[in-house]
A = this chain, B = another copy of it.
Amino acid sequence: MNVPHPALAESEPGLSRYAALAGALRRRVIDGEWPAGTALPAETRLATEHGVALGTLRRSLELLAEQGLIERRHGKGTFVRMGLSGATMMRFFRFGSGDGEVPQSRILSRQTVVASPEVARRLGIARGDPVLRLQRLRSLGGQPRLVEEIWLPLPLFAGLLDAPTAQWGDLLYPLFAERCGVAVARATDEIGFAPLTAAQGRSLELSAGHPGVAVTRQAFDFSGRCVELRITRGDAFAFHYTVTIT
């Protein structure tokens, strides 16, 4: 018979055992009990620890692996994932001849500002809250191709306030992870079209009013909180984006 396990702190009502267990493990990962890149205890260990059968524990880990929180490697162990790398996000993004290669990056400006209503709405913070605003130029083969405007909530990103931007490298997400402990789990891209302003045109060596594409990205961490708002602009006619629908 199925005696309800008294030691089960995971016995949330209306949830299957493996789902509740997955939630509990998820919390332990997010709370930093096992830092990114490290291995979780072995299956058998976790199963006895939580008083469930091995199959049930495995079901929980499969759930978390599906969500991208952990990664399982046969013969090695179960590891906490670092989040999206930033290079994966260029996967479906093409500009000019670049076949998904990572563009070189230069930070043009860095300021602390108060969030506008629109920025606050998309970041899920209050109007007037402080945010870090970056302007960034991305080039391919020495040619400027994309200008970016990036908003990051403070104080979460305080670690970027004084780091010398010249040494930031071409990808921001590894920097987020390293200096601020922020992992990007998921993102949405919104693609739209608008003529370039005079300033945007200058940065891209195009005329004001030239047809431009705008990709508005919101990036989220594993707890679902929006951690980045970014608007990327470039020459519409050089732009290409591929999406798979299932």
Contact = CB atoms under 8 A, between A and B. Distances in A.
A245 B189 CA distance: 8
Interface in A75-102: 84, 88-89, 92
Interface residues of A, number: 27
Interface string A232-246: 000011011111111
B236 A211 contact: yes
A241 B187 CA distance: 14
Contact of A193 (B185, B190, B239): B239
A192 interface: yes
A38 interface: no
The list of the 5 closest CB pairs from A to B, nearest first, reads A193-B236, A191-B241, A189-B243, A187-B245, A211-B211
B240 A190 contact: yes
Interface of A: 68, 84, 88-89, 92, 185-194, 211, 213, 236-237, 239-246
Contacts of A236: 193, 211, 236
Nearest to A245: B187
A213 B211 CA distance: 11
Nearest to A211: B211
A242 B194 contact: no
A194 B194 CA distance: 13
Contacts of A186: 244-246
